[in-house]
Amino acid sequence: MAAPSPGPHEVLAPSPEAGHRAATSSSGRRGLLWRLRDKQSRLGLFEIGPGHELHQLTCMMQAGLWAATQVFMDHPPTGLPTEEDFSEVLTQVHEGFELGTLAGPAFARLRRSLGLAEEDYQAALGPGGPYLQFLSTSKSKASFFLSHDQRFFLKTLRRREVRALLAHLPRYVQHLQRHPHSLLARLLGVHSLRVARGKKKYFIIMQSVFYPTGRISERYDIKGCEVSRWVEPAPEGSALVLVLKDLNFQGKTINLGPQRSWLLRQMELDTAFLRELNVLDYSLLMAFQRLHEDERGPGSSLIFRTARSMREVQSLEEPEAQNRRLLPDTPNALHILDGPEQRYFLGLVDLTTVYGLRKRLEHLWKTLRYPGRTFSTVSPTRYARRLCQWVEAHTE
C-alpha cells in the first residue's frame, strides 16, 4: 500500500484473515459465550458478541482500525510535523463499509511520543477480542466502548464535535508538549465509519483514565456543579459498576499529601488552556484504589520518567514551568497519583463542547429554570474557575 498523502485519500484496505473472521463470525460457541456474559451486564461491562445489536458495527470498527493502524506501521511519519499532518483524511474501502482516518499522521506521532507501540495499539483495537460495552450514566446519546483489555476507550461523537476537536488539535498537541504530565485525556485517533451508502458515524479513541481496573473501588465524573449531578448508588453488596457524580461525593476528600500542590497547579494549567479554546462541559474523572502495604511510603514505586512522558518532543520550557512530577512505576502513569493510602486515577475528558450560540442560549434557559443553583452550562472562564475551586475544596 502506498504511503498516505495529504488531503482526502481513498484506498482499498487490506483484509487480514483474522479481521475478516471477526467481521463475519457468528459461531454457536461465541453466541453461547455472549449469552453467558450478557447475564453479567450488572457488572457494568459486557462483551459485544454475536447476537448483540452492536456486534456488526464493532466488528467493522475492529477490522477498519486494524487496517488503518497498519498504514502507519508500514509508513510511520518521518521528519518534522507539518500542517498537512492535521488535515489529512485517509478513507479505506472495505467490503460493506468505509473507514476514514482523520489527521492520521498527527495522531501517529502523538501515539509514538507517548511510548505506545503501534503493534500494541493494533492488537488491542483490532479483531483479537470483542469490545466491551460501557454502561454510562452520562445524559449524552453517545455510545461508549472499551477495548477488550480495557486499555482504550472509544466514544461516538457528533460531526460538530469532531470539527471542534480537529480545529483545536494542533494547540492540544502543543499543550502536551509544554506540559507532558497534563491531566488532559490522551486522544489517540479520530475516525469516521460509513456503512454502505449510509450516514457517516464519527468516533474517537483515547487512553482510558480508569486503567488498570483491577482494584478500583469507586468512580466519579465531576463537573463542579449540582444540577443533574446525582446517580442512584448501587445497592449495598451489589457488583454493579457505576460512575457517580458530584453530589455523590459530598462529605468525601481526596488525600494526596505532598502531591496536592502539583494537582492544583496542573488543574490551573489545563483548565486555562481549555478556557482559551472557549471549551466547557468537560469532566474530571476520578477513581479510587486502596494501596497495598508494600505500595505505600515515599519512593516505594516512584521514578522520574521525564523521557517516557513525552519522548519525541524536546520542549523548550523549563521543568518548573512544565509542572512535571514523580510518576508511579505503573501502566497509565500519567493519569495516576498516589496519596499516602489511596491511589487516584484522574483525567480531564470530553473536550469538544464549544461555548457558541447554542450553549449561550442553554445558559440563559437554565438560569431561569434553576435560580440559585449551579449547573454545567456557564462561560468557559466561570467553568474553569469553578472546577479548580471544587478540586481545591475536596483535596488535602
pLDDT band at 37; cut points 50, 70, 90 = very low
pLDDT at 301 over 50: no
Q: Residue 24: what pLDDT? A: 44
Of 102 and 303, the one with more pLDDT: 102
| Region 4-33 average pLDDT | 53
pLDDT of residue 44: 62
Region 249-274: what's the mean pLDDT?
97
Measure the CA–CA gap between 49 and 31, rounded to whole angstroms: 7
User: Is the per-residue pLDDT at 386 higher than 60?
Assistant: yes
The percent of residues above 70 in pLDDT, for the chain, comes to 84
Query: How far is residue 234's CA from residue 222's CA, in Å, rounded to a whole number?
Result: 18
- pTM confidence score: 0.86
Q: How far is CA 258 from CA 139, 208, 304, 306, 382, in A?
A: 36, 25, 16, 19, 28
Give one word for 103, left, alpha or beta, with left for phi > 0 and alpha for psi -120 to 50.
left
Q: Which grid cell sits at 68?
A: 488503518
Domain span(s) for CATH 3.30.810.10 in the chain: 209-296+332-395
Q: Are 170 and 82 in contact (CB under 8 A)?
A: no
Distance CA 363, CA 239 (A): 37
The pLDDT score that the predictor gives to residue 253 is 96
Provide the percentage of residues in the chain whose pLDDT is more than 90.
Answer: 73
Confidence of residue 141 (pLDDT cuts 50, 70, 90): confident
Predicted pLDDT at 372: 94
pLDDT at 315: 55
The distance from CA 156 to its chain's CA centroid, rounded to whole angstroms, is 11
pLDDT digits (tens, 9 = 90+) for 72-82: 999 999 999 99
Residue at 104: amino acid letter: G
Which residues make up the CATH 3.30.800.10 domain(s) of the chain? Answer: 44-208
Q: Which of 390, 260, 273, 270 is nearest to 325 (CA)?
A: 260
Phi and psi dihedrals of 256, rounded to 5?
-100, -20
Mean pLDDT value across residues 33-40: 41
- Where is average pLDDT lowest: 20-34, 106-120, 339-353? 20-34
How do residues 169-221 score in pLDDT, each as one tens digit? 999 999 999 999 999 999 999 999 999 889 999 999 999 999 998 889 899 99
The CATH topology of domain 209-296+332-395 is: 3.30.810
pLDDT band at 19 (very low <50, low <70, confident <90, very high): very low
Supply the DSSP string of 81-108, one letter for each residue: --HHHHH-EEEEEETTEEEEEESHHHHH
* Averaged pLDDT, 266-280: 98
> Does CATH place domain 44-208 in 3.30.800.10?
yes
- Distance (Å, rounded) from C-alpha 380 to C-alpha 279? 6
Distance CA 154, CA 177 (A): 24
pLDDT of 229 over the 90 cut: yes
358 and 245 Cβ atoms separated by less than 8 Å: no
Q: How far is CA 217 from CA 31, 111, 241, 256, 355, in A?
A: 31, 29, 9, 17, 34
